[in-house]
Structure 1
Amino acid sequence: MRNKMAARATAIALLLTLSTGTALSMTPRSVQAASEPAIGAVSVNGGSSFELKKIQMLPDPSGNIVTFTVNIHNKGNSDLSLVDYWFRLKGKSGNTYSVRMMPQDKVVKQVGAHSNEEITYYAKVGSGIKLQDLQLQIIKWDSSQPNFEKVLGQVSIPASYTGVTPKGETASFQTGGSELKLSAQKFTNGKNEKYYLPAITLRLENTGGSAVALPDIQYSLRTPEGLLYPLEAKKAKDLTISPKDSRDIQLTGTVPLKAGDKGWELVLTQMHPELKFNILLAAQQLPAPSETTGGEAGRETQFMNKSGLYTANLSGIYRLPWEDQDILTANLKLSNQGEQSLPIPDMTAYFLLDNAVRVDAKIVRTDKVIGIDPGAVLAVEILGKIPYTYEYKEVKLVLQEKESETQMNDLLELTAKSELQKLPFIGLGSTYKREDAGRKASYTVSEIHTYSGLSGNIVSAELDIENLEKRFTPLTGLVAHFQLKDGKVYPATVSEIKKSIAPNGKARANVWTTIPEGVDMENVHLLLGDAVTLTEGTVKQTGTQQAVKPDAYVKPMTFALPKEKNDVKDKLKDLDLFPYIVSLSRINTSINTDVLSLKFDYNIRKKLLTESSPDGHKLVLVFEDFNGKKSFEKSYDLKNWEPREGQTAEQVTESELRIGSKEQFEIRVQDAELIYKQRFLEKFHLSVYHEFQGQRKMIARQSLDWFAFSE
C-alpha cells in the first residue's frame, strides 16, 4: 500500500512538472466565447464542472493527433487545484491514450473561485481511430481507490459532431493576442483530366485591438474520408492585418478526381514549434463552388488560378464572313478587381457547337500590356473558323489554362445563342474610338467615291484614322468587307500606309472593292476588323497595314456610309485629291506650227500631319475642243508629287507635277494639222478626273476660250 501511494505521489509530482512552463508567443492562451455549445460536461464538487468544448483530430505520420479544449467552471468559494484532476482518452476497444497539456496552458495550476478557465490538451492515437470512437474520462486522485483513481464521469463524442464550422458561419482562431475571423468569399473548382483544381478567396478579419502578423499557417482541403490536400497561399507571406481590418488571400491546389469533390472542408493548421506536429487552428465547411460553366454573354463570371481571381465578361460571339468560310469570334474582357496586379493567364480556347462539335480556336490580344493592373481591363479575342453553310443552335466558349505542353486546366465555360449578335455600329458622321493600350485611335468614314468602269464600279470608302497615342504608332492592320442590304458580302482591300502616324496625326486609308454594274448600293455598310495572322499555331497581329497577309480578323465593327458627293466643280480651284489640294489658274493655249501648247499656273498644297497611300491614284487632265477639233489627256501619278526616295525636290523632272507652285507649267502635244483648223477653234473644256485603280471620277470641268488666259 505504501509503495502504491509513493508511486502515486511521484505521478502527481510529474504532473506538477508538466504543468509549468512558458506560453508560446504565437499561440497565447485565450478564452472562447461562452456561447459556444459544450459537447458534454461532468460535474465535480460544489457545483463545479468540466465541459468538453471542442475536439479535433489531424493525421500524423505516426497515427492521429487529437486536440481538445476543456472549459473548467469553478463555482465554489475556494480555488480548484488542477493537480487533483486529469484526463484520459479511451477507445471503444478499451485502449487508453495518455493526455498531455498544451505547453501554452502549463502555467495554469488552479482555477480561482467563481471563475473559469479553458485549457487545451493533446493525445496521440492510432491511425484507424475516429473521433466518435473516443470517450473522454475525467479522473480525480483518490487514495481510497485501489489504483488511486476515481472516474468522475466521461463524455462520448456524438455521431453528429464534426468540430467544423458550418458553411455560411464564421470560423475564428487566436493569434498574436487577437482573434482572426475567416470566411470563404469565393470558391471555384475547375478540373483537368487528372485533378480537381480548387481555388478559394479567403478573407481574414482582425477583430482585436492591435495589428497581427499572420503566422506560418498551412492551408489544406479535407475530404469526408479525412484526407488532407495542401493549398498554396498567395498574398499570405509577411501579411500584417491592422485592427478592425481584413485581407484576402488566394488559395489554390489540386485534388485527385478519385477523391471526389463533395463535402470538402477548409482546414488551417500550424506546426507547433515544441511538439513538432500540426495543431488545428480552424476548420470550416466550404460552400458549393461558384459555377464556372453556364455563364452567359453580357454577365460577369469569375474564375481563379494560382495567380489570383479574374473577372471575365463575354461581350459577344459574332459570326463573320471570310472567303468561303465564316469566322466565329468572341470578344472577352478580363478584369482585375483585386488590389494587386495579375499576370495574363496562358490560355487556350475552343468553341463547342450544340454540345457536340468542337471548333479549335486561337486567342488574340490586341492590347500592348504584360499584366492586368488593379481595376484594369484586358481585351481578348478568340476566333475559329467554320463552313459558312453550317448551322447551329447554341455555341459555348470553353477557356482553358495551359499548365504544361500536355496539361490543360478548364477555367470557364460561357454560352451564347446561335443568332448573329449585332456588331458595334457606328452611325453617319460618328467616330469609333479604339481604347486598346498602345493602339488608341479613332476611326471615321468621311467620304465615299465611285469610280466608273465598263462592267463594274470601284467603290472606295475614305477611312480617316487619328493616332491617340503619345508616340508615333504604325496603323493596326485592317480587314474590310462591304455588306449589301440583301446579305451579299464583297471583300475589300485596305490601302497600305507604311509610315507611322504622329501623336494626334491622321491618316486616310482607301477601303475599296469592285461592285458589278447595276448592284443596288443603298444601305451598304462597311465591316471592319483587326487583321490577324495564324501561323504555325501562333497568333500575330499585323503591326502595319498588310505587313503580313492576314487570314482572319477580330474586334469587328460596322460603319454606315455617307452619301456620295457627285458635284462637279466648274472652276479648277481647290480640288480635293486627299491629302492634296490642287488649283489651276491662268490657263491658256497656243499653236506653234505643229505643236499645241497648253499652259497654266498650278498650286499644290498638302495637309500636314496626314499620311495616305498615293499608290493607284492619278490626276487626269482631259482637253476637249467644243467642236471636236482636238482632244487629248495627260495623267499624273500622285506618288510622284513628292520627291521619291533618294531624290530631292530639284531632281523631279519638269514634266511632273509636284508640291508647291509653278507658273506656266506647259503640256506640249504634236499635231501637224491643227494649225489649219485654227480659225474654227473657239472654246474648249478642260476636265480634271480623279483616277483610282484605272477607273475615273470627274471632279471638275471648266469651259475656256482658245488663245486667251483664264482667271
Structure 2
Amino acid sequence: MREFSKRTAVLLLSSLALVQAAGGIAVPAAQAAGTQAAASTAAAVKINPVTMAAGVTAAIEDINIWPQSGGNILAYTLKITNNSSSTVNLQRYFSRVVTPGGSVIPGNPVTADATKKKIAAKNSMSITYYVNIGQTKSLSGVKIAMYVWDAKSKGYLKHSGSFAIPAAYSNMVATGKSLDTKMNDIPVTASAASLELYKYGGKVYAKAGINITNKGGKVLGDPGYTAYLVTASGTAFELALSSSQTGYKIQPQEKKSIYYLTEIPAYLNTTNMKLQFTQKDEALKLELPRSSFKLPAASTPNLVVASGAVKKIVVNNNTVDTKLTGASVFAEDATAVWAFQLQLKNTGNTAVTLPAYELAVKSAKGTAFPVNAKGLSGLTLKPMETKVVPLTVEIPLQVEQSSLQLQMIEAVTAAAGTDGGTSGTGDTGAASGKLIFPVAYFTIPYTLKADVRSGQEYGATNQYGSFAYSLQSLQRYPWKNDDIVLAKVRITNTQAVNLTIPELKGALKLDTDNLSATTDLLMDKEAAVLAPGKYADISLITKIPYTDEFSNVRVNLSVKSETESIPFLDFSTTSFISSVDQLKRGDSYTISGKGKNAAVQENKTTVYEGSNYNILYTEVLMTSAEKRQSKMARLQAYFKTADGQFYEAKVNQSDSLAIPGGKQLVTLWAKLPKPASTTDVSLYVGSGVTAGRLSESGEEATGFINVASLPLTPRAVVPANNLQNVVLYPYTLNVLTSDASHVEASDTVTLNITYNLTRENSYDAGESEHKLVLRITDPFGQSQDKVLAIGTELTEGTNHNFAVSFTKNLYRQITGGSYKLTVYDEFQGERQELGGQTFTMRFIPLPKVEDEEKETGK
C-alpha cells in the first residue's frame, strides 16, 4: 500500500469473482429501469460464456470504467478455460469493445498479463484487458466481441460471440452486501463499513471505511491500490490511508476495518457516495479501475469526551482506551498553567505504535493553544499495557478557563491525487498537503490546583508509575548573608510493583521569583528504585536575600533531559514556614543518610570573654551509627541567641574515617558582641551540602540540610585550686611536683615540673586550636607567661620533666617566699583559667666569706 499519495488505498479486489459455476458475470436486476438502485437487489442476470474453439470457452469476470482526463478507461477481465487435451495458444484469440456509438476498439492486455501466452490442457487463466473508450461514461450498451484467428475468414478473424452488458448492470457492491474476491491471490470478503464527516478549522473532512476478512491461509499484505471517494455525480477525491493503519497486515481468518481520509468542500452533496479502488499500471501510465462499494449514509460522530470518560480509538485494528486525568490549574503571573495526563491502555492482543498526533487546548471562542505531544506520537503499547503521558499548557488568564477542551488531532499527509488531486469531472478535491483530522475533544474539568498542605499525602500518576507525595517540611534558616529555603518532599510507592524514580532536577519558585537556576536537589541515589510501600525523601534547596518575604512556594520536579522538559511532579503551597526541629536540652541530634547515620550530643559549651567581644565555644561528640567504617557527615551550624540573632559557627572536624560506634569531637565557635546574651543560646546544626550532595572532607559547603535546633548549656569554667587534673580536651595534665629555685643575687628563677600528660583516645578530633599557657607568679606578685606546645615541649606519658627559666633584675632581691603556677586555655587569643597552685620557692644562698675561711682553716 502506498503511504498516502503513494500508498493511499487498499484493497481489494483483483476481480469481482461473481462468476460461479454458470461461468458468467452476475448482473443485479434493476428495481427501476436505468437506476443505480439495481445494485441493492439480490436477483442476478447471467451472461453466458462464449465458445472460442472445441473445448475452449471465454467468460467475462469483471468490467469497470474509470474516468480520466485523456479518455475514460474500460478494463475487463476474461477467464479462458481450456478443457481440451492440448495446449491453447492465446495469440489466436482476440477481443474488441463495441461502444454504444458503434466504435470498435481492440482490447490490450495490461502489463501484468502481457506475458500470458498459452494455457495448458485442462487449465484456465484470467487476463485483464483495457481500452480507452473516450467520453463513454456508462457500461450500458457496451459489448465485448470475441474473435478467433481464421485464415479463411474475411480479415482473418472469425467472430465467435459477444458479451452484452445489460443496462441494469452495476459494478458497485451495494450497502450491506459483501464481495467475495481475491487480493494478492488470497481469497477475501469485503464490504463497505462507514462514511463519517468531521468539521475542524473551518474545513470538512470525510472518513470512509471498508471491512476486509482474510479467508486464506496466508497473511494478507498490501495490494498497492489507490482509493477514491466518488460522489453520485462522478466527482472523485483521492483518499489518504489513516496514519494509524499504515503498513497494516491482516492475519488468516482475521477481519479488519480500513479507513481513508480526505478533505471535501463544505457544500458537497454526500448522498449516494461510493468508495472506488484503482490500480496503477506504471508501464502504461494508466489507472485501471477495480471494485467499488456504495457507502452508507454519511454521519457526523460526536467527538466530545465527557470529563473522566474513556474514549476508544482504533489503531491498526487495536482498540486503545484513552482518558484525560489529573487536570489541574494554578495562576502564575498573567497565565493559567494547566497540567493534565493522557492515560492510554492497549486493550488489544498485539503491540501498537501510536501515529503522529497533534494536541491543542481550545477555548470556547475557538482559540487553540498548542500542547507538546512529543511523548504521545510514536508511543508503543504492549497488549494490556497502560501508559501515562503528562501534558502542560499555558493559557492567558483573560481566556475563559471553565470551558476548555483538549483536542486530539491526527496529522495525515493528504493524497497527492491525480490531475491535481481530482478525477472525474475535474472538481477540486484534496490537494497535496496535510490533513488535520480530529480524533477526540476531551472536556477539561476546571479544578483549581489544590494547595498542598504540609504533612498531608496526595496521589499522583505519571509515565513512571503511581505514587503518593507529601510535603514533609518547608524551612527557612540562615546561610551567610542569605537565607536558605528548603522544601522536603516524600515520594511513596503505592503500586504493587517497583517504582523507578528517574534522575530528577528541581526548581523552587517563591511568589513570582523563579529560582530554578539556583535550586539544588538532593536525593539518595540508592533510593531511586522503590519497592511497594517504600519511600524516598527529596530535598530542594535554594538561597534568597534574608530580607525577602514570600507567601507562595511552587515545587517542580522534572526529569533531567538535554532536549526537553519532562514533568514528574509539580505543586504549590502556601503552608507556613515550619520551624526546624526543636530538640530538648540534653537530647541528641540525629543524622540520617546512607553511610552517614550518626548522633550528635553537646559535650561542653563555654564563653571565652574578651575585652572587645566574647567567643561562644561548643564541643559536640559525634557518634557513628554505621556498621561499617564510614565518612561522617560534615557539620555546618549557626548559634542563635535569645533575641533571635544568628552567628555563623566555624567548625573544626576530623577528616578521619569513623569506625562503627566511633566518636569524633567537633568544635564550633563564633565571635559575639559583648552585649549579646549567651544565657539562652541554641545551635542550628545540620549536614553540609556541596553541588547537590552531602559535602565531603576538604570541600566547601554551599549550604546545609536536615537542620535541627540543639539547646546549649553554657557553663563557666571554675578554675581548680590545684594542678592535679587539669582538663584541656583531649588532654589531661597532672602536675606531680614543681620546684622553683633561685640562687642568691641571681636574676634568674629556674622551674622544674614533673607531670603526667594523658590523651583521651576514645574519639577523634581535628587539629587542636587551643593553646596551653603556663603562668608563673613570683614572690613579688609579678607574672610571666609561657606557651607550652603539646607534643614537643609537653609530651604524652608519665613522670616527664619540663624545665624553664624566667629572668628579671628584680629577682636579685629574692630571698625566698612562694610562687604560683597557673594554667590557662587560650583559644583565638582569649583565655580561660583552668587551675592554679601555690608552691614554696627554694632559695639557694651564696657561701659567706667567714664560712669559706673556716672551711679553709680546717
Confirm or deny a common fold (TM above 0.5): yes
- CA drift at 1:318: 4.0
1:383 partner letter: T
SS at match of 2:666: strand
In structure 2, distance between residues paired with 1:136 and 1:306? 46
- CA drift at 1:693: 1.0
Partner of 1:490: 647
Partner of 1:443: 600
Alpha-carbon distance change, 482 to 632 in structure 1, aligned in 2, over 3 angstroms: same
SS at match of 2:610: coil
1:579 partner letter: P
- CA drift at 1:610: 0.9
> Any idea what the Cα deviations from partners look like across 1:143-168, whole Å, max 9, x if unmatched?
xxxxxxxx99976636x733x66443
Partner of 2:540: 381
In structure 1, distance between residues paired with 2:232 and 2:166? 30
1:219-230 matches, cutoff 5 A: 220=357, 230=373
2:759 partner letter: R
2:179 partner letter: L
8 Å CA contact 1:314, 1:333 repeated in 2: yes
1:686 partner letter: L
Alpha-carbon distance change, 67 to 563 in structure 1, aligned in 2, over 3 angstroms: farther
2:669 aligned to which of 500, 507, 512:
512
Partner of 2:758: 604
- CA drift at 1:448: 0.4
2:634 partner letter: T
1:584 aligned to which of 721, 735, 742:
735
Partner of 2:78: none
2:263 aligned to which of 127, 151, 154:
127
2:831 aligned to which of 681, 690, 696:
696
- CA drift at 1:199: 6.0
Partner of 1:501: 657
Alpha-carbon distance change, 66 to 689 in structure 1, aligned in 2, over 3 angstroms: farther
Alpha-carbon distance change, 230 to 579 in structure 1, aligned in 2, over 3 angstroms: same
Alpha-carbon distance change, 165 to 385 in structure 1, aligned in 2, over 3 angstroms: closer
Partner of 1:200: 341
1:338-349 matches, cutoff 5 A: 339-349=498-508
8 Å CA contact 1:292, 1:413 repeated in 2: no
Is the counterpart of residue 17 in structure 1 residue 181 in structure 2? yes
In structure 1, distance between residues paired with 2:371 and 2:519? 37
- CA drift at 1:427: 2.5
- CA drift at 1:264: 1.8
- CA drift at 1:365: 3.7
In structure 2, distance between residues paired with 1:194 and 1:563? 54
Alpha-carbon distance change, 531 to 106 in structure 1, aligned in 2, over 3 angstroms: closer
- CA drift at 1:705: 5.6
In structure 1, distance between residues paired with 2:703 and 2:251? 73
Partner of 2:800: 663
In structure 1, distance between residues paired with 2:515 and 2:654? 35
Partner of 1:560: 711
> Any idea what the Cα deviations from partners look like across 1:122-151, whole Å, max 9, x if unmatched?
554531479x99679999xxxxxxxxxxx9
In structure 2, distance between residues paired with 1:23 and 1:700? 111
In structure 2, distance between residues paired with 1:313 and 1:23? 61
In structure 2, distance between residues paired with 1:476 and 1:657? 31
1:402-421 matches, cutoff 5 A: 415=572, 421=578
Partner of 2:129: none
Alpha-carbon distance change, 438 to 58 in structure 1, aligned in 2, over 3 angstroms: farther
8 Å CA contact 2:475, 2:578 repeated in 1: yes
8 Å CA contact 2:736, 2:753 repeated in 1: no
Is the counterpart of residue 633 in structure 1 residue 785 in structure 2? yes
1:379 partner letter: I
- CA drift at 1:17: 0.8
Partner of 1:38: none
1:584 partner letter: V
Structure 2 gaps of 5+ residues are: 1-140, 142-162, 213-227, 276-292, 414-433, 844-858
In structure 2, distance between residues paired with 1:228 and 1:677? 98
In structure 2, distance between residues paired with 1:403 and 1:213? 32
> Any idea what the Cα deviations from partners look like across 1:532-573, whole Å, max 9, x if unmatched?
68xxxx88975446x44x676555432211242534444534
1:251 aligned to which of 377, 380, 389:
389
2:308 aligned to which of 165, 168, 179:
168
Alpha-carbon distance change, 371 to 55 in structure 1, aligned in 2, over 3 angstroms: farther
In structure 1, distance between residues paired with 2:336 and 2:554? 21
Larger Cα-atom Rg: 2
- CA drift at 1:442: 3.6
In structure 2, distance between residues paired with 1:696 and 1:233? 71
In structure 2, distance between residues paired with 1:128 and 1:295? 50
Alpha-carbon distance change, 314 to 221 in structure 1, aligned in 2, over 3 angstroms: farther
Alpha-carbon distance change, 292 to 409 in structure 1, aligned in 2, over 3 angstroms: farther
In structure 2, distance between residues paired with 1:310 and 1:482? 39
TM-score (ref. length: structure 2): 0.54
Is the counterpart of residue 216 in structure 1 residue 216 in structure 2? no
Deviates more, 1:499-508 or 1:306-315: 306-315
Alpha-carbon distance change, 522 to 266 in structure 1, aligned in 2, over 3 angstroms: farther
- CA drift at 1:362: 1.1
Alpha-carbon distance change, 351 to 695 in structure 1, aligned in 2, over 3 angstroms: same
Alpha-carbon distance change, 632 to 332 in structure 1, aligned in 2, over 3 angstroms: same
Alpha-carbon distance change, 156 to 182 in structure 1, aligned in 2, over 3 angstroms: closer
SS at match of 2:181: helix
In structure 2, distance between residues paired with 1:691 and 1:672? 29
1:331 aligned to which of 487, 501, 506:
487
- CA drift at 1:381: 3.1
1:691 partner letter: E
> Any idea what the Cα deviations from partners look like across 1:367-398, whole Å, max 9, x if unmatched?
5649833355253333232362x5x4624346
1:251 partner letter: V
Partner of 2:88: none
Alpha-carbon distance change, 403 to 22 in structure 1, aligned in 2, over 3 angstroms: farther
Partner of 1:476: 634
2:775 aligned to which of 616, 622, 630:
622
8 Å CA contact 2:605, 2:715 repeated in 1: yes
1:353-368 matches, cutoff 5 A: 355=512, 362-367=518-523
8 Å CA contact 2:327, 2:444 repeated in 1: yes
In structure 2, distance between residues paired with 1:698 and 1:674? 26
Alpha-carbon distance change, 10 to 294 in structure 1, aligned in 2, over 3 angstroms: same
> Any idea what the Cα deviations from partners look like across 1:389-416, whole Å, max 9, x if unmatched?
x5x4624346486999998788876555
In structure 2, distance between residues paired with 1:666 and 1:187? 84
Partner of 1:454: 611
- CA drift at 1:511: 1.8
> Any idea what the Cα deviations from partners look like across 1:211-248, whole Å, max 9, x if unmatched?
x55333447455579999754259975x656xxxx654
Deviates more, 1:599-608 or 1:308-317: 308-317
- CA drift at 1:614: 0.8
1:48-197 matches, cutoff 5 A: 64-67=206-209, 121-122=257-258, 124-128=260-264, 157=299, 161-162=302-303, 166-170=306-310, 183=323, 186=326
- CA drift at 1:105: 9.1
- CA drift at 1:690: 1.8
> Any idea what the Cα deviations from partners look like across 1:259-282, whole Å, max 9, x if unmatched?
9993225689999xxxxx99x9x9
1:232 aligned to which of 357, 364, 375:
375
In structure 2, distance between residues paired with 1:581 and 1:54? 99
Partner of 1:646: none
8 Å CA contact 1:350, 1:361 repeated in 2: no
1:264 partner letter: L
Q: CA RMSD in A?
A: 5.9
Alpha-carbon distance change, 201 to 573 in structure 1, aligned in 2, over 3 angstroms: farther
SS at match of 1:126: strand
TM-score (ref. length: structure 1): 0.63
